[in-house]
Amino acid sequence: MMIIAFGLLASSVSFASVDRSTRTSDDATLHSRKITRNKDLTEGVFNQPIDHFGQLTGQTFAQRYWVDTQYASGPNAPVIFHICGEGDAEVGYFLHDNAIEWAKSLGANLVYLEHRYYGKSLPFADLSNDHIQYLTLDNVMEDFATFEKWISAKQGWTGKWISVGGSYSGTLSAIYRQTHPELIVGALAASAPMISGVGQDDDDSSGGVDNTDPSASDGGRPWVYQSCTKFGFWQTDGSTLYEPSTALCKAIFGDAVPMYNKDAYNQKYYAPYLANSDASPSNILFTYGTDDIWTTIGLPPQSNLNSKITIQLIDGAGHHFDLNDPTSSDTDAVKAARVEFLTLAKEWLK
């Protein structure tokens, strides 16, 4: 079982015991602040199937991607695949973060892919219930796989791929390694929520939740749809995590939309990571900041029986500080976490 804590003893940490009032909610800030984009990125579009599972055969949408090849030494160079999450990829940290430094150190190509239904990667002109139904986790995973095969062939790349992501995109990074280990040799999942259905019940009016449509303020209609139908968590007040309200989800999307099943989700996407099993996912680094509320629904180190993954706690860090663009205020613990990823990445690439 690999547990690493920088700046504190792993055995002394209990996610639930950390005072939530000291936690920081950096996700909204990171997704909204304008960061200078990596000027060396080349933008392109890929014609991605709207549905990978038999419906809408032949129908595609233009999915945006960006490539930076300046650090790669040749066609066999590794590839860092930065998975973008619930927002416009050109706003926030996505296109300028520490992945650039890792690409330099590894001599790697760097690729970013915008998430379907966000930014300009829109399968339809509207987000009606009939159109948003193709926003599924299975389709997202196949987006990654289909794009990876296409861009590798287009560019003539033969090197190994490693995925990276933070927050929700960190969850996707881990699940991509779980579902397609034949395509990527390892993954970074920074501040990745991995547990469904944990938090205050959003149906409980005593919790102070305004049960109105949050789609304008809490990540937009696509993210609310994903929370309602698959993931089972959202954040409304900056310091508390909630289970989505069944009544609210039905009011927004109608009775025909399937609600998330937290037991099924946790059995498929949470429990396997911590299990001592030959089938358990491998070659994944999970990093969590001790001052981040999302750590409470991450993978708990004290429950990990899987020696094939690493769970790392970063003392004093907020939301995926190790993945953020480097600054002069980065602590030694954040810097050490970045070095740990680089060390593991080199092992995965052997």
Which CATH number does the domain housing residue 129 bear?
Answer: 3.40.50.1820
Per-residue pLDDT, 238: 60
Per-residue pLDDT, 247: 86
Contacts of 264 (CB under 8 A, 6+ apart): none
Let me know whether 88 and 170 are in one domain. Answer: yes
Q: Which of 212, 237, 261 is the last residue of a domain?
A: 261
Per-residue pLDDT, 10: 29
Structural domain total, the chain: 2
Let me know whether 27 and 68 are in one domain. Answer: yes
> How far apart are alpha carbons 110 and 350 in whole angstroms?
19
> How far apart are alpha carbons 214 and 275 in whole angstroms?
36
Per-residue pLDDT, 38: 67
Q: Which of 219, 240, 261 is the last residue of a domain?
A: 261
3-class DSSP state of 248: helix
Q: Which of 240, 261, 282 is the last residue of a domain?
A: 261
Let me know whether 236 and 324 are in one domain. Answer: no
pLDDT in tens, the chain (350 residues): 444 443 432 222 233 333 333 334 444 444 444 445 566 899 999 999 999 998 898 999 999 999 999 999 899 999 999 999 999 998 876 787 899 999 999 999 999 999 999 999 999 999 999 999 999 999 999 999 999 999 999 999 999 999 999 999 999 999 999 999 999 999 999 999 999 987 666 554 333 334 445 554 445 899 999 999 999 987 655 677 888 888 888 888 988 789 999 999 999 999 999 999 999 999 999 999 999 999 999 999 999 999 999 999 999 999 999 999 999 999 999 999 999 999 999 999 99
Per-residue pLDDT, 234: 79
Q: Among 97, 8, 15, which residue's Cα sits nearest to residue 301?
A: 15
Let me know whether 245 and 122 are in one domain. Answer: no
Let me know whether 191 and 206 are in one domain. Answer: no
Let me know whether 257 and 324 are in one domain. Answer: no
Let me know whether 241 and 342 are in one domain. Answer: no
Let me know whether 232 and 325 are in one domain. Answer: no
Cα 234 to the center of its chain, rounded Å: 14
In the chain, the amino acid numbered 254 is G
- Long-range contact pairs involving 74-78 (C-beta distance under 8 Å, separation at least 24): 75/155, 75/156, 75/157, 75/158, 75/159, 76/158, 76/159, 77/107, 77/108, 77/109, 77/157, 77/159, 78/106, 78/107, 78/108, 78/109, 78/159, 78/160, 78/161, 78/162, 78/345, 78/349
Let me know whether 176 and 214 are in one domain. Answer: no
Query: What is the phi-psi region of residue 191: left when phi exceeds 0, alpha when psi lies from -120 to 50, beta otherwise?
Result: left
Domain coverage including residue 73: 2-195+270-349
As beta bridge partners, residue 284 has: 187, 309
Let me know whether 299 and 315 are in one domain. Answer: yes
Q: Among 243, 224, 136, which residue's Cα sits nearest to residue 179?
A: 136
288 touches 310 (CB < 8 A): no
Q: Among 301, 344, 104, 42, which residue's Cα sits nearest to residue 336?
A: 344
Let me know whether 215 and 343 are in one domain. Answer: no
As beta bridge partners, residue 314 has: 6, 289
Let me know whether 205 and 188 are in one domain. Answer: no
